[in-house]
């Protein structure tokens, strides 16, 4: 093969790669994206703030199905709570155990009557407290659908230990 033919093939290969790579990067799923039990999705965004004058949490999840109907998404949070009492100028703290709880008091976010919705948002949940202890924070979603419940779809998002006065945000940056 002549040198000019080899160069033409190399240039053609580079041209094709330059057209394919940007398209591949746009459609790339995040590492937590999962398809299980006929349901697909993950947690797309999570925020937890342990700041003065309030605790704030919010989660946005993607959930859908190719062959069944998603009815609702339940948001779960794993954390540690503490109760603080000021007795004669001395702060006394009682730390509770760590466990999973529903995020917020409103219950699951239901689907629309007209069909599957793709993104579910817990909405910002705020409380008028600041935790006086550091707390490990994890988020998970449970998807209820016409064939049952898929637990921890897309895995668990571990925000790590959040000290008083700090915020952490998880954003997969990948809306497809």
Residue 18 CB neighbour total at 10 angstroms:
9
Tens of pLDDT, residues 107-148: 567 776 665 678 888 888 876 555 666 788 999 999 988 888
Specify the pLDDT at position 21.
Answer: 44
Q: Does residue 116 sit in the same domain as residue 149?
A: yes
User: Residue 16: which domain range?
Assistant: 1-30
CATH code of the domain in which 124 resides: 2.60.40
Q: Does residue 37 sit in the same domain as residue 103?
A: yes
Q: Does residue 52 sit in the same domain as residue 1?
A: no
Q: What would the DSSP string read from start to end of the chain? A: --HHHHHHHHHHHHHHHHHHHHHHHHTPPPTT-EEETTEEEEEEEEEEEEETTEEEEEEEEEEEESSS-EEEEEEEEEEEEEEEEEETTEEEEEEEEEEEEESSSS--EEPBTTB--SEEE---EEES---SS-EEEEEEEEEEETTEEEETTT--EEEEEE-TTEEEEEE-----
Q: Does residue 10 sit in the same domain as residue 37?
A: no
Report if residue 149 sits inside a domain: yes
Q: Does residue 21 sit in the same domain as residue 6?
A: yes
Report if residue 176 sits inside a domain: no
Asked whether residue 51 carries a pLDDT value surpassing 60, the answer given is yes
Q: Does residue 153 sit in the same domain as residue 115?
A: yes
Tens of pLDDT, residues 9-39: 666 565 555 555 444 444 456 788 899 888 9
Specify the pLDDT at position 81.
Answer: 72
Report if residue 95 sits inside a domain: yes
Q: Does residue 12 sit in the same domain as residue 71?
A: no
Domain count, the chain: 2
Least confident residue range of 98-102, 103-107, 143-147, 156-160: 103-107
Mean pLDDT of the chain: 77
Q: Does residue 113 sit in the same domain as residue 59?
A: yes
75: pLDDT confidence band, cut at 50, 70 and 90?
Answer: very high
Report if residue 57 sits inside a domain: yes
Q: Does residue 125 sit in the same domain as residue 72?
A: yes
């Amino acid at each position: 093969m002549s040198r000019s033919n080899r160069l033409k093939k190399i240039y053609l290969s580079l041209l094709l790669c330059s057209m394919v790579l940007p398209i591949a990067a746009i459609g790339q799923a995040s590492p937590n994206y999962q398809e299980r039990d006929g349901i697909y999705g993950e947690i797309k965004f999570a925020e937890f703030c342990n700041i003065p004058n309030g605790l704030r949490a919010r989660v946005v999840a993607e959930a859908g199905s190719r062959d069944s109907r998603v009815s609702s998404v339940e948001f779960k949070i794993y954390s540690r709570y503490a109760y603080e009492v000021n007795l004669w100028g001395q702060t006394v703290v009682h730390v509770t155990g760590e466990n999973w709880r529903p995020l917020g008091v409103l219950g699951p976010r239901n689907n629309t009557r007209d069909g599957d919705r793709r993104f579910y948002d817990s909405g910002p949940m705020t409380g008028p407290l600041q935790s006086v202890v550091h707390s490990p924070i994890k988020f998970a979603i449970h998807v209820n659908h016409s064939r049952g419940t898929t637990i921890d779809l897309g895995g668990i998002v571990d925000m790590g230990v959040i000290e008083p006065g700090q915020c952490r945000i998880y954003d997969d940056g990948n809306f497809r």
